[in-house]
Structures are given as structure tokens and as C-alpha cells.
Amino acid sequence: MSEEFTLQTEKVGDSLVIKTGGYINNVAGEKISQVFSDNSNTDVKNAVFDLENSKVINSIGISYLLEVIELLSGKNGKIIFLNLDPSIEKTFKIMGLFQFSQTADSLDSALKVLT
Amino acid sequence: MDSNFNLKITLPKIPDIELVAIEGLERMGRFLGITEDKIGEAKIVVNEAIINGFEHSGIENQYVNIEFIMTKEELTILVTDYGKGFNPEEVEEPDISKKIGGKNKRGWGIKLMKSLSDDLTIESGPAGTKISIIKKLT
């Protein structure tokens, strides 16, 4: 069963790299959203989400990702996802998330897109 | 052993209880040799169905019953709550372009369940809601 949700962040230039672990539900979604609220007065305008260690997500958790997309779109920023489980990638496609975000093969390639 | 497995669980409304059902689903799926992609999609469907059940379970009866009937070819998921019910025809089709910039970013559950399954039936009334889902596994 999924372990406790974990969140690691690293600021790289004007991008925030977020690595999650565990189930992305409402509580995890709030934590993710809070990170961006905390950075709302900084130069952060892009996000890279590495979901390699998050294999379960629900639509409430995703609704918080929509908040982040909304926030960063307002700054003309970009959102890139890494290491999506195939079922999560399919879920994002169904919802239309990739109209507002993209995927990359690695952190390096994501950061190249953002610089 | 019979290759038709049945798992029934009554889930109380406590945080992350849906993971118990997902764990059972994963174990049955792997035992039957179902692909990880199909199991992953089924997990999303089950998760959304349980969340939907708890949202409509009401205060009096905060339980959701879930039943899986799984073969190598097909998974049937039955989710029942005993809450106030809802009218599925009144559920608006979510549109991400409206959600981004809009106040309500939720309301994706039924769309995801429909999109990731092969058949979905919702029977809902004042005594509760039963969602029946069939997902092909081959």
C-alpha cells in the first residue's frame, strides 16, 4: 500500500522542481498547491513535477494541479511532468491537462525546455 | 482454483481507505496476470467510484460497499452507498478550459470512470447510489 506522502522541492532558476512520493489525494494536493502559494512573490514561473514515486492519484489531487497550472499560466510559465505512470498519463490526457502542460524524458530535458 | 475471483469490502469513511480496495484489486490482478497498464487504469476507476460514493454517502451511513468480480478477461466493479443519491443527468461534462480560471476545479469522477471503462451504469435515488462498471482486461 502507498506510503506517507512526501514532497521534495528544489528551485532551479525560475523553475520549481517538485518530486513527490506516495498517494496524491486532497491532502497531498493542498501541500503541492501551498508550495506555489509560498512562492507566489518569487520569480518562480515554471514547474517540473517528477511523479516517479507517485503511482496513485485521484481527481481531487489533480484539481490542485489545475490550481498550479492556473497560477503559473498567469505568469506565462510552463509545467512539465516527468516519469508519469501510464495510467496517470492517460488520466491527464482524458482530462486535457496536456493542453496546458507537457511531458519530458528527464529533468535535464525539462530544464532545457524551460530555459 | 477457480479463475473467477470475488472480493467484497465495506469501507468506512476514513482518510485513504480507498487504498485498501486498490490493494485488493492489484493483488487479484497480478495473480491473474493482468497487465500493469490495465491494473493502473482499473485503480483510477475504483478510486473515483469510491470517492463518489463517499461524497454521496451522507451523514447517517458513512460506508461504501465495493465488490470486484475479476476474471482474466474482465473486471466488474460494483460500488454502493446508502446516501441521498444524485441525478447523473445533471452532472455537467467537465471542460478543462472552463476549469482553468474557474472556481470549481472538481467534477471529473464520472468522466474518468466512463473513459477508462467499457460500460458504466449509475442507479441513484433517495436511498442511495449503485454504480456498476465493466472493464475489459485483455
Compute, in degrees rounded to 10, the torsion defined by CA atoms B1, B40, B46, B34.
-20
Confidence of residue B2 (pLDDT cuts 50, 70, 90): low
Averaged pLDDT for residues A8-29: 97
pLDDT value of position B18: 97
Of A58, A73, A99, the CB nearest to B47: A58
CB pairs under 8 A between A and B: 78
What are the tens digits of pLDDT across the range B100-117? Answer: 999 999 999 999 999 999
Over residues B26-55, mean pLDDT: 96
Q: CB B47 to CB A56 under 8 A?
A: yes
Q: Which residues of A touch B96 (CB under 8 A)?
A: 66, 95-97, 99-100
Residue A3: band (very low, low, confident or very high) from pLDDT cuts 50, 70, 90: low
User: Residues of B near A (CB-CB distance < 8 A)?
Assistant: 15-16, 18-20, 22-23, 36-37, 40-41, 43-44, 47-48, 51, 94-97, 99-101, 105-106, 108-109, 111-112, 115-116
What is the per-residue pLDDT for B58? 73
Span B76-107, pLDDT tens digits: 999 999 998 889 889 899 999 999 999 999 99
Optimal mutation site among A59, A92, A93, interface B, most CBs of chain B within 10 A: A59
Q: What is the average pLDDT value for chain A, to the nearest integer?
A: 95
Distance of alpha carbon B43 from its chain centroid, rounded? 8
For A22, A98, B11, B14, B100, the CA distances from A68, given in Å and listed in that order, are: 19, 14, 32, 27, 10
Task: Tell me the pLDDT of chain B averaged across its residues.
Answer: 93
Q: For the residues A78-103, what does the mean pLDDT come to?
A: 97
> What residues of chain B lie within 8 A of the CB of A60, using their CB?
51, 106
Cell 521534495 identifies what position?
A8
Beta bridge partners of B68: B7, B77
Is there a contact between B55 and B32 (Cβ–Cβ < 8 Å)?
A: no
Band (B131; pLDDT cuts 50, 70, 90): very high
Confidence of residue A1 (pLDDT cuts 50, 70, 90): low
Distance from CA of A110 to the nearest CA of B (A): 23
For B5-136, CATH number?
A: 3.30.565.10
Nearest to B66 by CA among B83, B79, B47: B79
- How far apart, in whole angstroms, are the C-alpha atoms of residue A43 and residue A13? 8
| Domain A6-114 class in CATH | alpha beta
Q: Tell me the CA end-to-end span of chain B in Å, nearest whole number.
A: 21
Report how far residue A92's alpha carbon sits from residue A11's, in angstroms, rounded to the nearest whole number: 25
CB A49 within 8 A of CB A28: no
SS3 A66: helix
Which residues fall within 8 angstroms of residue B98, CB to CB, at 6 or more apart?
A: none
CA A66 to chain B, closest CA, distance in angstroms equals 6
pLDDT, tens only, B51-76? 999 987 777 778 999 999 999 999 99
Which DSSP helix (H) or strand (E) runs through B76?
A: strand B74-81
Query: What does R_g of chain A's alpha carbons equal in angstroms?
Result: 13
Considering chain A, what percentage of its residues have pLDDT values greater than 90?
94
> What are the sequence ranges of the domains in chain A?
6-114
Interface test with B, best of A1, A24, A56, A101 (most B CBs within 10 A): A56
Tell me which amino acid residue B30 is.
R
Contact A87 B97 (CB under 8 A): no
Considering only alpha carbons, which residue of chain B is nearest residue A96? B96
CA distance B4 to B68: 10
pTM: 0.94
pLDDT (0 to 100) of residue B57: 74
**Angstrom distance (rounded) from CA B87 to CA B89:** 5
Name the percent of chain A lying above pLDDT 70. 97
